Amino acid sequence: MATAETHYTLPLPSFDQPVKLLIVVAPYYKDITDNMVAGARVIAASCGAEVELIEVPGALEVPTAIAMAERQAKYDGYVALGCVIRGETTHYDTVCNDSSRAISLLGLQGACIGNGILTVENRSQAEVRADPAGQNKGGGAAAAALHLIALSRKWAGQTTGIGFRA
């Protein structure tokens, strides 16, 4: 059973310069995502990050909103939050796969994103994962974004160069 397992968690990074995070949440299951937002806010605050929150209609719109913000606004990173519970149709597979793929592609383009979109079989699984006192997946997504921001800042300005060394 996963709840009995122990996992290693990286210590949270520290920052010399302010961090601005955008939480993008699809509140379809609002009680669940409210818990995830609460967990994300606590982790962000523990690193001194400023947080803004926007809501979008569903999990498929989360990566689109992040892409828009990446192009048009000034955020250091993003926390993608939502919950997709398996239903009776294959729509579940489409939403899970496409939202995850789009978030991954944005990350490969340089966006610092913590993916906290839950993909679960039932409501009870979602509740355990969303609970800030439980698995705290919202907090984990915020931590992931913060770690990526720290790496991005560490490597900013470093180039390997092209051609001959002087």
Is 88 annotated in a binding site? The answer is: yes
Q: Has 147 been annotated as catalytic? A: no
Read off the DSSP letter of residue 123: H
Rounded to a whole number of angstroms, the CA Rg of the chain reads 17
Is 129 annotated in a binding site? The answer is: yes
Is 75 annotated in a binding site? The answer is: no
Q: How many CB atoms lie within 10 A of CB 61?
A: 16
Residue in the block written with tokens 């302010």: 18
Read off the DSSP letter of residue 2: G
Is 122 annotated in a binding site? The answer is: no
Query: Phi, psi (5° rounding) for residue 132?
Result: -60, -25
Q: Which of 30, 91, 123, 154 is catalytic?
A: 91
Q: Residue ranges for the binding site?
A: 28, 59-61, 83-85, 88-89, 115, 129
Q: Residue ranges for the binding site for (2S)-2-hydroxy-3-oxobutyl phosphate?
A: 88-89, 129
What residues are annotated to the active site?
91
Q: Residue ranges for the binding site for 5-amino-6-(D-ribitylamino)uracil?
A: 28, 59-61, 83-85, 115
